[in-house]
Structure 1
Amino acid sequence: MSDTPAAFPTSVDDFDTDDRISWSKVDNKYIMEETNGNEWEFDTELKRWVQTVDKDLLEQQSKAYQVPGVDESEDTKEKAKSKKRKKPDSGQDGKPKKEFQNTAVYVTSLPLDATKEEIEEVFSRYGLIAESIDTEDKRVKMYTDDDGNFTGEALVIYYRPESVQLAINMLDDTDFNFRQGPNGKMKVQEADVSFKKHKAEDEGEKKEPKKQSRVDKETKQRYEKRQAQKLADWGDEGDIEPSKQPGANNPKLARTLVLKHMFTLHELEEDPEAENDIKEDIMEESLKFGEVEVVYVFNMEVAGVAVVRFAEPSSALKCAKAFNGRQFDGRSVVAYIADGTERFKRTKKDQHAEEERRIARFAKELESGALAKDFDDDGQRIDNNGQNNGDE
């Protein structure tokens, strides 16, 4: 039986804030269940957590010491039954058990020259990265070897669990900022406690239990308020045309794909039909992943930006996964789901058309001499009453 981990709270006042802890009405005591399946009971007299005996282990030990001719199965079943934990119904006096939700991803094969700022920038595209409760430092852990050199492995902790699968879908088996790590493309997977424990042992970190300072409720409340505000700002600081006011829950963003390095401004200037050709190519490729509502080419962006809006978010995700890192006319494409924090510029076709119509109309009038009668010999415009409107 392992020792009580230092991270387990021992004050009853702190139990409400720990998702792993619930109240068992059957045993009339607090129960803690770790993500690895280990279960603990809180001993109120000793003021410490005691690990419970696993049912299978109990049966194995019973068989090992079983006396021939004596049937102990009935007693064993009764004992095992008494150890069974039941989740209390909502509304009863017991505290309902909260399901643990993972919010972290474990990343391997990052480029060895990658910086924390780069990792934050890439992974923050798919969700708000959590911060330290006491400071505003992003919770990104870069692992190093005994000499302090980065190993290409990192742990990224998001504020919301929904960001985990999105980051995996978008970043797993892709290049990191056009670079690869020691083992090729980076791998992104859901993290669990075994990753952090394994890395700590490899690095010789904190082998002895470390006494943690208790974070008071006011500090945690301030942290939650700060993170909630940043979560709102994360999807509401800018807009991606034509979605004018995207928010954190704007459904258009989930199905809007941003593509970069699809063209150069020189290409658009050199060939008037290039913009339409690019749009048609993107539409043709995007339709392989689902229904497409519209494709925009932002012809004033040096980064060669195009935006594709799908009918379904799943189609946008699949397309982003396929496009990201793909070569297009010798350029490496960057593809990701819109987060509402960027503004892209383009000249609209109706503006072009109106300007062209105005110029054509003016040229036609000049050719026909229709404008000549409106000016006198000195080039001054004459009004409808035949009066000269020039300066006195």
Structure 2
Amino acid sequence: MAAAEEDFEFQLQQEEIQQHKREHGDPFTYTDPDDGTVYEWDQEKLAWFPKITDDFIAAYQANYGVTDATQQRTASTTQQTQQQQQQKKAKKELKPGEKRKANDPEWFDVDEVKNTNVYVSGLPTDITDDEFKDLMQKCGIIMEDAETGQPKFKLYRDQNGQLKGDGRCCYLKRESVELALQILDNYEFRSHTIHVEPAKFQLKGAYNPALKKKKKKKQKKEKNMQERLLDWRPERKEPLRPKHERVMIIRNMFHPKDFEEDPLVLNEISDDLREECEKFGIVKKVLLFDRHPDGVASVAFKEAEMADAAVAALNARWFGGRQLNVALWDGVTDYQIQETDREREERLKKWEEFLDKGADIKKEVTTEATTSTTTTTTAASSSTAGESDRGKTEG
């Protein structure tokens, strides 16, 4: 019964709305009886606003006056309002659960402010890539491809693979484009007058999404590339050497048993080795693998060339009665030897004995010093007493 009553009331409301439309027109519009201004109801803001029509604009211009700029802004506002109304209407027409169709894909123009490409024409048809690169570098740094690391320029060819006499170059900075237009436009190059202009990209054929490059997360890589290109320091002409070639390995420098009696010898050898190696360059780290049976030590230099000089000077030299075997580290071999639990206990036991021995020696030295001081004091007292007795006798 309740559902039937609700349906009946809803039907009565719809009939009243239809009757109001027939008598008064659209229920969402209102005409002012005094001046005839038409207002429309904004459902979102819940308020009446003047309806923007051609008659309303003409009446507004006649009453308040308008300039050309104002007319343009008004026309733009009118167009935007109409577009918004069409969008709202399209949303209302959507059925429940139906999604709005996306806009058809299309090519977009490159922003002039961000465009760092220039188009060059009038080039010789036998120009090489190196010649074109040297020519364009006169006006700035050429961008490098983030994937290949190669400079981004191109000489165009025809269907037969022959050069057409034109090309494109991508600079790192926008200022280089302006400089190229001033310097290289109408520039004489090998008896050819070349022409330079900002590059324009046009669509050839129908739009194909498969040809569009996919966006990749390479902002950090591109930033590092730009910082390297803008770095003022000169580039290394020789290829960079591996980091492990900065480390020098020395064999037969000691024997593990050398540290059993006096563990402090380890520090003495390390200090002597650092002092000797600093003659060849900056030493970053010195390690002694005291458990290795071959008596291995390693020295890390700041540069590989420093390690080369140290190897050449120290190999086959004698140290503490042992002939050294010196070479660069291969980057793979691990000279660290892990001790077992038993070996660790023995090492700690020997270390305690060493400390106790040192404490006993210190105690003996202190006792001897105290005894010597007491003896000296007694002798001095006896001497003073004897002199006093002699003085009394003489008196």
TM-score (normalised: structure 2): 0.31
Larger fraction in helix: 2
Greater radius of gyration (CA): 2
